[in-house]
């Protein structure tokens, strides 16, 4: 391993029996600790030298092959850090877990060029190393803008690679709380319905036969006549998975403006539940628990995100109205 001021760091590795027959990007990822997507970028940029004249990510390797990978200094991310307060549940030099508030977007996108979680993280971690060749925090999973709760973020390439693997293998504990319309007569069930892009409303997802497999476990924790509080465990991570699955069961989440019809509680709903439900500004969904084995240190990380004020008010109002 060596480096120069302009060329960056050069990693010299040799494939062994464990890599024999693997794809090149997978083998080099295992040997270097770089993510597969970063290796793929380096291959496209011709920064990988090996025994073949044409080096592709999909080619199969053999034991005993030598490779040199040039990793250039990380490029700065063209975003201005912003001093946005973070509610940190866990942090070390490799990663952090935050309690994301509702109303904040995770990634910059069209219409959200400022005030995102990434802007806040760049301010909180001014000395971030490169992740996939860019000096930025590593977002390995997301929460919708109007969903609150625990969110893990990588601060190093090794943590990003490890966390991505945990999520890809579904080897991570994710539990959510949701307050919904409807009071089912069952106590728990598993929803196994594929989710894909809605056929006509392209910004929405839906249960669709051609979609990707999606599995959600549902536990009814409390019934309030026409409403309920659910604990949901994700086994896959499809876009809007919980919201789509519950809507499919005709149990839409209170306050969900996308997957529920407009709902205004009538006089049959007692106070203070009626006014509290009517005043919801977002879906009543919170990522409460995030648990995993730390991908670098191996320690068990268990984070519980406290309820934000709006959902605590909803929980208290339902309890007071239906005690």
Count other Cβ atoms within 10 Å, centred on residue 91: 15
| Cα diameter, the chain | 76
Is 25 a catalytic site residue? no
How many whole angstroms separate alpha carbon 151 and alpha carbon 139? Answer: 9
Helix 36-44 vs helix 24-32: angle between axes, to the nearest 10 degrees? 120
| Parallel/antiparallel/unpaired status of strands 75-76 and 134-135 | parallel
CA 170 to chain centre: 12
How many whole angstroms separate alpha carbon 130 and alpha carbon 77? Answer: 10
Question: Which helix (DSSP H) or strand (DSSP E) does residue 162 occupy?
Answer: helix 157-168
Given the residues 144, 146, 256, 310, the one annotated as active site? 144
How many whole angstroms separate alpha carbon 256 and alpha carbon 312? Answer: 17
- List the one residue out of 94, 127, 106, 147 whose CA is nearest residue 292: 94
Q: Which tokens belong to 65? A: 């092959």
3-state secondary structure of 91: strand
Catalytic machinery residues? 144
């Amino acid at each position: 391993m060596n480096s120069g001021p302009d060329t960056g760091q050069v990693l010299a590795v040799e494939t062994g029996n464990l890599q024999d027959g693997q794809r090149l990007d997978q083998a080099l990822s295992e040997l270097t600790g770089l993510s597969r997507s970063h290796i793929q970028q380096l291959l496209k940029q011709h920064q990988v030298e090996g025994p073949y004249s044409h080096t592709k990510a999909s080619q199969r390797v053999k034991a005993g092959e030598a490779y040199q990978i040039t990793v250039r200094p990380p490029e700065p991310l063209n975003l201005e850090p912003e001093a946005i307060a973070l509610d940190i549940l866990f942090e070390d030099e490799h990663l952090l877990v935050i309690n994301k508030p509702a109303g904040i977007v995770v990634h910059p996108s069209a219409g959200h060029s400022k005030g995102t979680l990434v802007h806040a993280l760049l301010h909180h971690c001014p000395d971030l190393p490169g992740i996939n060749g860019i000096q930025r925090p590593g977002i390995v999973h997301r929460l919708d803008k109007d969903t609150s709760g625990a969110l893990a973020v990588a601060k190093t390439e090794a943590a990003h690679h490890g966390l991505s693997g945990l999520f890809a293998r579904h080897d991570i504990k994710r539990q959510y709380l949701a307050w919904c319309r409807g009071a089912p007569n069952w106590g728990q069930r598993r929803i196994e319905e594929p989710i894909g892009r809605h056929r006509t409303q392209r910004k929405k997802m839906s249960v669709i036969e051609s979609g990707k497999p999606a599995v959600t476990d549902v536990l009814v924790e409390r019934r309030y006549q026409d409403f309920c509080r659910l604990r949901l465990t994700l086994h896959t991570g499809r876009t809007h998975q919980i919201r789509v699955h519950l809507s499919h069961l005709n149990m839409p989440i209170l306050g969900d403006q996308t997957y529920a019809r407009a709902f205004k509680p009538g006089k049959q709903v007692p106070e203070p539940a009626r006014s509290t439900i009517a005043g919801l500004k977002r879906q009543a969904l919170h990522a409460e628990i995030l648990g995993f084995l730390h991908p670098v240190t191996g320690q068990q990380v268990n984070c519980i995100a406290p309820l934000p004020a709006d959902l605590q008010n909803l929980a208290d109002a339902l309890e007071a109205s239906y005690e």
